[in-house]
Structure 1
Amino acid sequence: MFNKSERLSVFPAFFRVSGKRVSVFGNGDEAFAKVRLLLNTDAKIVAYASDPEADYAVFLSGQGIEIVAAEFSPEQVENAALVFAATGDAALDRDIVLAARARKIPANAVDQPEFCDFYTPALVNRAPVAVAIGTEGAGPVLAQMIRARIDQMLSPSLGRLAGLAAEYRDAAERLVPRGVSRRIFWRRFFSGDVAGAVDANDLAGARRSANALLSGSGRAEGHVWLVGAGPGAEDLLTLRAQRVLMEADAIVYDALVPQAIVDMGRRDAERLSVGKRKNCHSKSQDEINRLLVELGRQGKRVVRLKSGDPLVYGRAGEEMAALREAGVTYEIVPGITSAFAAAADFDLPLTLRGVASSLIFTTGHDLAGDVLPDWASLAVSGATIAVYMGRTVAASVAERLMGAGLAPETTVAVVENASRADRRLFHGVLRELPDLEAREDLSGPVMVIIGEAVAGANFEKSEPLSAFKAEHAKAREEVGMRG
């Protein structure tokens, strides 16, 4: 049961207004806003406006809305399904509401909660689907903010999909057994090939897919999304990634993906951790490939969640090859890669006119061999280098770059846990970079950015790399003195 503080003082409901009279009283912006909201419906709107403002009058005329240019009298509310009092005159609005209540007509007075029999919600319209957000009059701006987020999340084609579903409802009730089978049918209808075809504006293809799904002759086809979860902050996840997480039957995720992002998936989706971390893999890449293929062949819709972007050090190439060979369809959903998040944390321009026109992504392991990679020479000529998983290779990166001619005083930026609330920022120069390998306090993923453009970063938010070395030198000295 809910605590009393968690209970609503209103009961959310939808009024049937199709073809019915809805009366709006007022001449200005508030009345204008109510009329615009009502135009989401096919109600018969009547505007009681004795002297409408110019833009409101033009709008009413352009929409063909009936205007009654008369001062208020109680009989004007007769035969209305709903009444809106938005005159800007609080006393007059109360009189309008009282006249409506006397005739048992629900009424709403703008900015007077005690004279509101109902509240107007912030509305997301995907007719015949509607999402209404209300705050019981306490926070209209909050309701609008929530509306904007929901509006972005819902496909513009959702209304067409719902309309198509209405056409198939009777057939589904006749042909698909009640219970689990019918729930699976509708889930696949709303998240599978039917929905994809409607989204692509291919109504004929949507009907073919719906008919195959209905007949049962078409086996449900699996599909895999390779999704970039971004660098860690939940609000950097893309809208498309959020959408497919809600469609997935199974979510296969790496250890670096925050649990909060995994939890954005459907509540009943299967969640499978493949736990890949550096030097500690709970599943090999071949095992992951086989798992994705197996899930796809089972007809499941699968989200493969990867930290950052799947195409940047995400081994997506191997997974795509395995899925192609097995005949399982897939799609890439890009994510924000850690280099961009780290640069944003530092207010750091990765390219800078007249200073750095090239950007290099590397794990630094390219420097393990005897032959210096081509990008090292680019670094010397001014390119910015973003080194992923940079702590363990910091020494070799610094050594080889300085050996190639990059100045030891070249600026470097270091970010642990880019974009997250627990991120840590450090700055220094190239010759100080090897000290990173001794820093056991850096347990999260570390991004290192090197280059002349880094000098344009905002170092007010970061600590100098040299401070750690100085602190440890002092600690060692104190230990020696005590010994």
Structure 2
Amino acid sequence: MDYLPIFLDLKYKNVLVVGAGDIALNKIKLLLRSNALISVISKNMCSEIRCLLVQKKIFWIAREFKTSYLKNFFLVIAATSNSELNKKIFQKCNKFKILINVVDDQSKCSFIFPSIIDRSPIVIAISSGGKAPVLLRLLREKIESILPMRLGNIAKIAGDWRSIIKKRFSNLLERKHFWEKLFNSVFVQYIINGKEKKAISTLKNMIEKPNKLTGEIILVGAGPGNSDLLTLRALQVMQEADVVLYDNLVSQDILELIRRDAKCIYVGKRAGIKSITQLKIIKLLIFLAKQGKKVVRLKGGDSFIFGRGGEELEAAKNANINIQVVPGITAGIGVAAYSGIPLTHRDYAQGVIFITGYQCINNFTNNWSILSNSNYTIVVYMGSLKALEISKQLIFHGRLKSTPIAIISQGTTINQKVIIGRLDELDKIFRLAISPSLLIIGQVVLLHKKLEWFKNSTYFNNSKTISSIINM
């Protein structure tokens, strides 16, 4: 270990900054957050540092550095462009045993600044010892992404109640178990969502009834497939889950992001294929939540767009179980974007309608007169189930046979395939598509060839046989 990571208490301690340019400004801003008493030596000042001086947030000592100025300073930062001056400051500070950092010159530093993730009072500092700053930045981004912005509020409230908890649970082991249970309960989610009154109410209940377990169900949309499109909140929740119930459309890349010790249960639901019933899924969700577990229901796309998420949350509320919803990018929006097809466009479509091919069966009747209006783009989920019926009904009610269509298979993933054709060819084209696939109908499809950016496409026309296209 090249450096010992420590946290310095700089509150009301004297810190000297030599230099007052943009680099010095960054250090001064950081020092101000630690409530240090900052003095500056510099001939010239950038405008922002001058403003801090006017606001009396910092002090100005002199234009030129002198060794005598080091007296009574706890820590010094040299941020000048004069290498000889920086060297002199470093040597003098070492002589007087004062902590010194010469900015951008690691060889002349008795300490270095780490990369900081601030969720005060929780502060995380990481460093590569100057070996790999780009790698360090990437690591910081990953850590930032899984730490909620209100994480510090959890620590603050816990701190406020620490003495009360200590009196209530005098045994160290009991106290440890209480805090573990609290931080794994809905208490945390209430604070993250800005509901501190509910959080404190939960805390009080757990003090009065420490053996009572409180679970919750969190509905999470996993997006259209590409793990890069998972929301930040979804990633955070997946890292906190005790149990995850996931569907068939959730990609393996996304499953890899679930907390390692969480139990994952496959409840794959796929149109046309026999699987666990919706009723059994609901019963399992409620059973697990009543055990006090944080249960994540992970669905492809967005749970409220043809995902039956509403049914599952209704059942949870009826069972008096706490719930949350984390929206996801629905397939209709994500897949269209990755195919270069804008669902609305001033020259082609004034609106978009989402429907499901599954609703064309079970005696459900679509309003074909509205769907046949060429001013609207139609996005069909599970369109392969009734491709021929959809095509016939739209043409019968006024859509042109030549209306452009796109069938996108495994959209947003590296296996994405886009097949372009006409409405009267819909049934034939679906025989070429690989599941899962999405159907887009409307003039906006014409923009695909110009705007495509993610993968190559196949264009279907009657002059080619199906077998020749398959062998392309």
Q: If the length of structure 2 is used for normalisation, what is the TM-score?
A: 0.88
RMSD after superposition = 3.0
* Range moving further from structure 2, 136-145 or 407-416: 136-145
Query: Residue type matched to 2:205 in 1?
Result: A
Contact 2:186–2:216 (Cα < 8 Å) also in 1: no
Decide which of 145, 155, 158 is 1:162's aligned counterpart.
155
Q: Could you list the runs of 5+ residues in structure 1 that have no partner in the other structure?
A: 1-7, 478-483
Task: Name 2:289's counterpart in structure 1.
Answer: 296
Shift of 1:473: 4.1
Query: Measured at CA, do residues 188 and 45 of structure 1 come closer, stay the same or move farther in structure 2, by a change above 3 Å?
Result: farther
- Indicate yes or no: 2:449 matched with 1:449: no
Query: Residue type matched to 1:286 in 2?
Result: L
Is the partner of 2:411 in helix, strand or coil? coil
- Indicate yes or no: 2:398 matched with 1:405: yes
Task: Name 2:22's counterpart in structure 1.
Answer: 29
Shift of 1:204: 5.1
5 Å-filtered alignment, 1:386-405, equals 386-405=379-398
5 Å-filtered alignment, 1:300-319, equals 300-319=293-312
Contact 1:176–1:214 (Cα < 8 Å) also in 2: no
Contact 2:146–2:239 (Cα < 8 Å) also in 1: no
Whole-angstrom CA distance in 2 between matches of 1:475 and 1:436: 10
Task: Name 1:421's counterpart in structure 2.
Answer: 414
5 Å-filtered alignment, 1:313-328, equals 313-328=306-321
Shift of 1:202: 5.6
- The runs of at least 4 consecutive aligned structure 1 residues that moved more than 6 Å come to none
Task: Name 2:70's counterpart in structure 1.
Answer: 77
Is the partner of 1:457 in helix, strand or coil? helix
- Indicate yes or no: 2:208 matched with 1:244: no
* Range moving further from structure 2, 292-301 or 112-121: 112-121
Query: Residue type matched to 2:379 in 1?
Result: A
Query: Residue type matched to 2:59 in 1?
Result: E
Shift of 1:128: 1.1
* Range moving further from structure 2, 284-293 or 342-351: 342-351
Contact 1:83–1:107 (Cα < 8 Å) also in 2: yes
Contact 2:342–2:444 (Cα < 8 Å) also in 1: yes
Task: Name 1:5's counterpart in structure 2.
Answer: none
Deviations 1:280-337, CA, capped at 9 Å, x for gaps: 4442111100001101211222111111111111111321232122222212221110
- Indicate yes or no: 2:17 matched with 1:58: no
5 Å-filtered alignment, 1:253-268, equals 253-268=246-261
Q: Could you list the runs of 5+ residues in structure 2 that have no partner in the other structure?
A: none
Query: Residue type matched to 2:438 in 1?
Result: M
Task: Name 1:355's counterpart in structure 2.
Answer: 348
Shift of 1:77: 3.2
Query: Measured at CA, do residues 322 and 476 of structure 1 come closer, stay the same or move farther in structure 2, by a change above 3 Å?
Result: closer
5 Å-filtered alignment, 1:97-108, equals 97-108=90-101
* Range moving further from structure 2, 272-281 or 400-409: 272-281
Query: Measured at CA, do residues 475 and 59 of structure 1 come closer, stay the same or move farther in structure 2, by a change above 3 Å?
Result: closer
Q: If the length of structure 1 is used for normalisation, what is the TM-score?
A: 0.86
Whole-angstrom CA distance in 2 between matches of 1:371 and 1:203: 45
Is the partner of 1:107 in helix, strand or coil? strand
Query: Measured at CA, do residues 81 and 267 of structure 1 come closer, stay the same or move farther in structure 2, by a change above 3 Å?
Result: farther
Shift of 1:217: 4.8
Shift of 1:361: 1.3
- Indicate yes or no: 2:231 matched with 1:230: no
5 Å-filtered alignment, 1:449-468, equals 449-459=440-450, 460=452, 461-466=455-460
Is the partner of 1:406 in helix, strand or coil? coil
Aligned residues: 467
Task: Name 1:481's counterpart in structure 2.
Answer: none
* Range moving further from structure 2, 210-219 or 251-260: 210-219
Task: Name 1:470's counterpart in structure 2.
Answer: 464
Query: Residue type matched to 2:389 in 1?
Result: S
Query: What percentage of residue pairs aligned between the two structures are identical?
Result: 33
Deviations 1:103-150, CA, capped at 9 Å, x for gaps: 333322122122233322332322211122434335656655655665
Task: Name 2:338's counterpart in structure 1.
Answer: 345
Whole-angstrom CA distance in 1 between matches of 2:33 and 2:462: 61
Deviations 1:382-439, CA, capped at 9 Å, x for gaps: 2111111233433332233223231121111221122223222222222232223432
Shift of 1:370: 8.0
